[in-house]
A = this chain, B = another copy of it.
Amino acid sequence: MKNEKPLILVSNDDGVEAKGINELIKYLRPLGNIIVMAPDSARSGMSCAITADKPVKYQLVRQEEGLTIYKCTGTPVDCIKLAMYAVLERMPDVIIGGINHGSNAATNVHYSGTMGIVIEGCLLGTSAIGYSLCDHKPDADFSHTAKYICNITRNVLKKRLPKGTCLNVNFPAGLIKGIRVCTQAAGKWTHEWERRERPQGGEYFWLTGEFENHDSDNDGNDNWALDHGYGAITPTKVDVTAYEIISELKTWNLND
């Protein structure tokens, strides 16, 4: 057991064939034994969704020394739950989501399937990291992220993360000036829908939108880091209690 290589569980939300996850696998190979359980096709924007209304299946894609790849019909979170149940013989040393094609910084953490993977890993009691690149293109260039991903993952394997915390790591497209430890930027999406009409009549709506940064002056947040060419590590927690308003709420007459 002591000389065993680290066991790394990998998933994503762009699907098992996406460039991002295949680059990630390449970078992580030297660090341990890798099991991949990833969606069989893209499941972007799935957040922590689980499949409650139908069954889920998985299938071996390929296996070689130190690497086994499965694909799954479920959501990113289903992938983690099913891998833990059906495939892994012990708890992994780290669960990694990514590399996502597109940013998951700021409040996007809430919509992100990549971070769904990471939050699930964290809830299960494992160190977990999500990696994302601010480039949606299918053939995005992930190469500049490689040394940082190896470094961050090595650190996490060595030091582990405190219980209930995980990492949301985002990289700018292109050259990376370095890594900053950040807070989650505030902001929201605006102009979110594009309205279309069917030739036969009747309207429908495509989700698009622009992210409105409410925190652009604050150089401690993840969007600031990305806008200035840095990779951003945003430590993230699964206890979302708003402790700071508990005493105020207790003064409300809620039992009348």
Contact = CB atoms under 8 A, between A and B. Distances in A.
Interface of A: 42, 44-53, 55-58, 77-78, 81-82, 85-86, 107, 109-111, 116, 119, 123-125, 148, 151-152, 155, 159, 161-162, 164-165, 178-179, 181, 183-184, 186, 188-189, 192-193, 195-196, 202-207, 233-246, 249-250, 252-256
- List the number of copies, as a whole number: 2
A123 to B, nearest CB: 5
Contacts of A249: 181, 233, 235
Contacts of A240: 109-110, 184, 236-238, 240
Contacts of A77: 47, 111
Contact of A207 (B81, B119, B148, B237): B81
Contacts of A203: 57
A56 B181 contact: no
Q: Is the interface of A mostly helix, strand, loop or mixed?
A: mixed
A58 to B, nearest CB: 8
Nearest to A239: B184
A58 B49 CA distance: 22
Given A47-B47, A162-B245, A237-B241, 5 more contacts: A45-B51, A45-B52, A82-B193, A235-B242, A235-B243
